[in-house]
């Protein structure tokens, strides 16, 4: 299997998933003089959208970075990739729940668990591709750098899930750490390029 086919299909699923996130934002049906307060009351939906949009973006960048190194693929890699894409496509559901029930522990835990599974699928994809020799000759240190970038989000989301047993707002705050860690320019992410 060529890597290009896997990349093209994956980009399509990422695009659909990230677009579905906006469908949870609804125009309030209120009198014109009440529109301002109603828009303010929608802040959990805005926060869930922003968080989830950037999270999907982080995973897309990680997937794209791996695909930059991917020279070929096989059936097993394709199915691991399908698992990753299934978890990506599922993100809009817990994101919608989080926007409506941000203080409910089962919702907050489901959101975190979805992102933990997504991160572990991404790591599995990289490990399988590397062991199968599909990534070609990697620059020294790239494997360890990729492991750090790929395993940190699931660890943070797991910490957020555990924090939900103390306070759900604390848990959601922990979930925001990953977008901040990966989007704000820092040595954490830019310490080593993922491209050859």
Q: How do residues 46-95 score in pLDDT, each as one tens digit?
A: 889 999 999 999 999 889 888 888 888 889 999 999 999 999 999 999 99
Per-residue pLDDT tens digits for 117-150: 999 999 999 999 988 888 877 777 777 778 888 8
DSSP assigned state of 191: T
* pTM (predicted TM-score): 0.86
Name the token pair of 164: 């939900």
Percent of the chain whose pLDDT exceeds 70 = 90
Contacts of 10 (CB under 8 A, 6+ apart): 63, 67, 81, 84, 85
Enumerate the H helices of 70-104 as residue ranges: 75-90, 92-100
Distance, in Å, from the CA atom of 105 to the CA atom of 82, rounded to the nearest integer, reads 29
Distance, in Å, from the CA atom of 136 to the CA atom of 62, rounded to the nearest integer, reads 18
Give the CA distances from residue 61 to residues 28, 84, 100, 150, 174, in Å, rounded to whole numbers and listed in that order.
Answer: 34, 14, 28, 11, 21
Angle at the Cα of 86 from the Cα atoms of 80 and 88, rounded to 5 degrees: 110
């Amino acid at each position: 299997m060529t890597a290009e086919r896997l990349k093209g299909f994956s980009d399509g699923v990422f695009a659909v998933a990230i677009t579905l996130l906006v469908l949870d934002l609804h125009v309030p049906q209120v009198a014109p003089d009440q529109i301002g307060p109603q828009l303010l009351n929608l802040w959990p939906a805005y926060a869930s959208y922003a968080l989830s949009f950037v999270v999907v973006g982080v995973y897309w960048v990680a997937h794209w970075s791996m695909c930059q190194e991917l020279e070929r693929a096989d059936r097993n890699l394709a199915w691991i990739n399908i698992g990753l894409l299934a978890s990506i496509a599922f993100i809009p559901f817990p994101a919608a729940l989080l926007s409506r029930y941000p203080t409910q522990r089962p919702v907050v835990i489901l959101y975190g668990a979805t992102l933990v599974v997504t991160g572990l699928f991404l790591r599995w994809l990289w490990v399988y591709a590397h062991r199968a020799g599909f990534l070609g000759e990697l620059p020294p240190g790239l494997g360890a750098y990729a492991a750090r970038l790929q395993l940190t989000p699931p660890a943070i989301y797991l910490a957020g899930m555990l924090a939900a047993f103390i306070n759900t707002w604390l848990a959601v705050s922990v979930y925001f750490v990953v977008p901040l860690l990966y989007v704000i320019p820092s040595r954490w992410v830019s310490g080593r390029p993922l491209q050859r």
